[in-house]
Amino acid sequence: MSSADHKTSRRGALRALALASTLPLVLGGCLRPLYGTAADGSNVVADMSGIIVDDLPDRLGHYLVQEVRYALDGSGNETTSPRYRLTMSATETVQSAIVNTSTGRATAATLYVKVTYTLKSLPGDAPIHAGTATMTASYDRGPQRFASVRAARDAEIRIAKTLADQIRTRLAAYFATRRS
């Protein structure tokens, strides 16, 4: 490498460093924390704690509703007046990709869950936000029946926790961008 090439590459590196160090200063006013207080004094946490979550009928629905309720307001504080209603519908599909050829039984399964949710404002029940969240989880299906049932239940619980996090994040993003 010649001396001229070394100086050119050094100048390029210094320019890149200067650009990288000034970029945060330029963009500093554009960003605000998701859970911070907005200019009008409202915040996402207060909006999310005012959401009523409707029940779902099956076992996966029970896990999902409990996880969403905890994700929205884990404090259990019920003094917040309800301002929104969250309705969800979940569909689940179990697929077995691996089958033991000697017994003809599936040795593993994959649980696919799709949740469609709608956020409605109260008291009018007008839909203001809707979305879909999906998740998959695999589990072993062995020859012991109760172990297979427990593995399927554990997969449902894992899915419910992840879906609750997805729904909470999407609702928080909705509330944060609604004011902007």
pLDDT, tens digit, 9 for 90 and up, residues 46-99: 888 889 999 999 999 999 999 999 999 876 556 678 889 999 999 999 998 778
Q: In this structure, how many other beta carbons lie within 10 angstroms of the beta carbon of residue 142?
A: 13
Give the mean pLDDT of 153-167.
96
64 shares a domain with 9: no
Give the mean pLDDT of 142-158.
93
51 shares a domain with 22: no
62 shares a domain with 119: yes
Contacts of residue 63, defined as CB under 8 A and 6 or more positions apart, other chains included, come to 156, 157, 160
pTM strictly above 0.85: no
> Which of the 8 DSSP states describes residue 40?
T
Name which residue leads in pLDDT, 31 or 115: 115
124 shares a domain with 50: yes
CATH code for the domain of 88: 3.30.160.150
Tell me the residue type at 39. A
How many distinct structural domains can be found in the chain? 2
C-alpha 91, offset from chain centre: 17
CA 134 to CA 113: how far, in whole Å? Answer: 6
110 shares a domain with 70: yes
20 shares a domain with 48: no
CA 140 to CA 98: how far, in whole Å? Answer: 10
**Cβ atoms 85, 115 nearer than 8 A:** no
**What CA–CA distances, in Å, run from 105 to 96, 147, 154, 170?**
9, 15, 20, 39
Give the mean pLDDT of 27-55.
73
Name which residue leads in pLDDT, 131 or 12: 131
64 shares a domain with 22: no
Per-residue pLDDT reduced to its tens digit, 109-145: 999 999 999 999 988 888 999 999 999 999 988 888 8
Q: In this structure, how many other beta carbons lie within 10 angstroms of the beta carbon of residue 167?
A: 24
| Domain, as residue range, for 21 | 1-31
5 shares a domain with 54: no
Residue 17 confidence (pLDDT): 81
Residue 160 confidence (pLDDT): 96
**What CA–CA distances, in Å, run from 69 to 1, 59, 157?**
63, 16, 14
172 shares a domain with 130: yes
Contacts of residue 145, defined as CB under 8 A and 6 or more positions apart, other chains included, come to none
144 shares a domain with 108: yes
